[in-house]
Amino acid sequence: MTLIIVLGLILLFSLGAPIFSIMLVAGAYGATQTARGEFMQDFGSQVGDIFTIGTGEPAQLLSTIPLFIFMGFVMAEAKTADRLVRAARAGLGWMPGGLAVVTIFACALFTTFTGASGVTIVALGGLVMPSLLKEKYPETFSLGLVAGTGSVGLLFPPALPLFVYGTVYGLAAQTQSDTGGAEMKLIEFSTDRFIFAGVIPGLILLTIMSVFAVGIALKRKVPRHAFDAKELGAAFVQAIPEMLLPILILASLANGVTIPEIACLACVYIMLVEIVLFRDVKVKQIWTLVRDSMALVGAIFIIIFAASALTNFFVTAEVPTLLFNWIQDNFESKWTFLLALNVFLLLVGMTMDIFSAIVVVVPLITPVAAAYGINPYHLGVIFLLNLELGYLTPPVGLNLFITGFTFKKPIDAVVRSVVPFLICMVIALVLVTYIEALTVKPLDFIKPPERRGRVAQMALEVEQAYAKLTVVQEITLDTGEKVLFSSCAAIEDADERGVCEGLFLDISKCRETQNGDELASCEKVAKDDYLELRSDPSSDGDSPDLEGGEDDDYPDLEDGDDDSGDEDYPDLEDEEDDSGDEDYPDLEDEEEEEETAPAPTPAPADDEDEEYPDLEDEE
């Protein structure tokens, strides 16, 4: 039945059903199939996650999405593209392939603000395509250049996918951590830092494409333009208000201004520039821009909310764990996993838009990547760079169809034109994937991790204290022995104390997630593991018979740290010293004779120790 439901949902998605509805239906069906079997509890938890996103801490970051989208719509409506291309052409037109390089960087900058590569192709493509053909660039090259550079700006702040990925990754990591994902508790991730992670990989991609463009210009002997300082000055003055925007955003982030505050200031700034300074946008157009941009915002939000519900089911059903076990069985190393991840993400980018891909796929690969030790910032850059390739990958790459429609070219001609640029992007992807330092090292310099000091330590202590308050307080072992959680704190040895507390944490988790026969089986496994660890002689070098609960014949040995009863048996204070065991060889293995050995009679006074001179205080 489950297979039929899954195949049906895939079919509906391929026929054009909204992806958020597919995710909600999948989450609702999953709630009926969990081990607990309580639909209202499981699906209610999914709805609770949606409410938390809209009202909790993630809402602050989500509030930036409408502002950045609206800002991109305003810039697309204005003549921003004209001014940027003019300034770049005046500055770089004198070099070989100058106009092609201008197109690459102008598209990257424009995509950074609009967040949608389709908008870049439509807005900038119509502007630069005639100029490229006029300057004798091959038509196939020009077509591929416009299509291939339409998504290269998604790695630079403040590109919207960076914020969406950061939000979804943070939510996925928090969900995994709250439900027992120990590896996720140790991960340091901040959206404020992540938006800078793609700067160096993005520049590497632009450089590779620029080298290719210069090579084509030299091969085709494309004419150059003489450098004109006057034109450069005039174009620079015209474009500087908009060129200052990314600098202002980065400077604000570096000085501790929060992302929501930056989004508000950037939105107000660009409206003043386009409405008051340049007057490209009329006041009466604002309502139309708000309506169009908020339609996109609503689509993104409903996908994020539905994906959070589906993620809740994935975690409850332990899908990431099952996926990791399968991957671990088939991919031995981190590097083979990254290779398989790249292939998988290319397929995802071919079939899904970037926002849907983020909210659906990120929660699945997050715990798997963490288990392989992949840096979360490195993972994010690999993810987005793969989706950039997906825009150009036939047969269903989105940019291929947008380019063909915009310039009225058959899709096969567009596919042939983008092949060289796909190769450039694959080279950049391989470098970024297998040289982690390209992402992580520059990030430590651009945006060092925040020093939280005692705040983080206090938060950890509060979390640990809360966990101890919610665990089971008393457990009866299969042997009939009762163990109290409070007794664990009295154990001085850290390893033994961890084994003791681990029993209560495991039993508590069993009772939260299981019931019936599964609960009994889960508790039995936890108790057996505890008894095995407690009796393991290799755990701390002591004899197993010194464990509490089995030393009724020698009560003074129950706590090796208590020296009050060791006066009668001083040679047992340090078991590593065997000098005193020669007279009592039967004490070397008490476990064999424990049932028949009589309880020793404590010596009433120190003067009676003369009968046993070897037991005198060696100190």
Cis-peptide, bond into residue 158, ω within 30° of zero: yes
Average pLDDT over residues 284-307: 83
Whether 319 has a pLDDT exceeding 80, the answer reads no
Predicted pLDDT at 573: 43
First to last CA, the chain: 75
Instruction: Compute the distance between CA of residue 27 and CA of residue 24 in angstroms, rounded to an integer.
Output: 5
Q: What single-letter amino acid sits at 561?
A: D
Instruction: Compute the distance between CA of residue 193 and CA of residue 186 in angstroms, rounded to an integer.
Output: 17
pTM of the model: 0.61
Tokens 């092609």 found at: 100
Contact 259, 159 (CB under 8 A): no
Predicted pLDDT at 152: 85
Question: Which of 143-152, 348-357, 459-468 is the least confident region?
Answer: 459-468
Whether 413 has a pLDDT exceeding 50, the answer reads yes
Contact 554, 565 (CB under 8 A): no
Whether 279 has a pLDDT exceeding 50, the answer reads yes
Instruction: Compute the distance between CA of residue 142 and CA of residue 271 in angstroms, rounded to an integer.
Output: 33
Contact 4, 286 (CB under 8 A): no
% of residues, the chain, pLDDT over 90:
11
Whether 53 has a pLDDT exceeding 70, the answer reads no
Rounded to the nearest angstrom, the gap between the alpha carbon of residue 44 and the centroid of all alpha carbons in its chain is 25
Which residues have a Cβ under 8 Å from the Cβ of 559 and sit 6 or more positions away?
548
Whether 160 has a pLDDT exceeding 70, the answer reads yes
Of residues 91 and 606, the one with the higher pLDDT is 91
The band of 589, judged by pLDDT with boundaries at 50, 70 and 90, is very low
Q: What single-letter amino acid sits at 182?
A: A
Whether 118 has a pLDDT exceeding 50, the answer reads yes
Contact 204, 431 (CB under 8 A): yes
Rounded to the nearest angstrom, the gap between the alpha carbon of residue 108 and the centroid of all alpha carbons in its chain is 25
Rounded to the nearest angstrom, the gap between the alpha carbon of residue 539 and the centroid of all alpha carbons in its chain is 36
* Structure token digits, residue 484: 């109290």
Question: Mean pLDDT for the chain?
Answer: 75
What are the b/e assignments for 355-365, b being 16+ CB within 10 Å? Answer: bbbbbbbbbbb
Cis-peptide, bond into residue 395, ω within 30° of zero: yes
Predicted pLDDT at 381: 94
Residue 125: count of CB within 10 angstroms of its CB: 25
pLDDT (tens digit per residue) in 8-34:
887 887 777 777 788 778 877 777 766
Which residues have a Cβ under 8 Å from the Cβ of 199 and sit 6 or more positions away?
155, 156, 157, 442, 446
Whether 356 has a pLDDT exceeding 80, the answer reads no
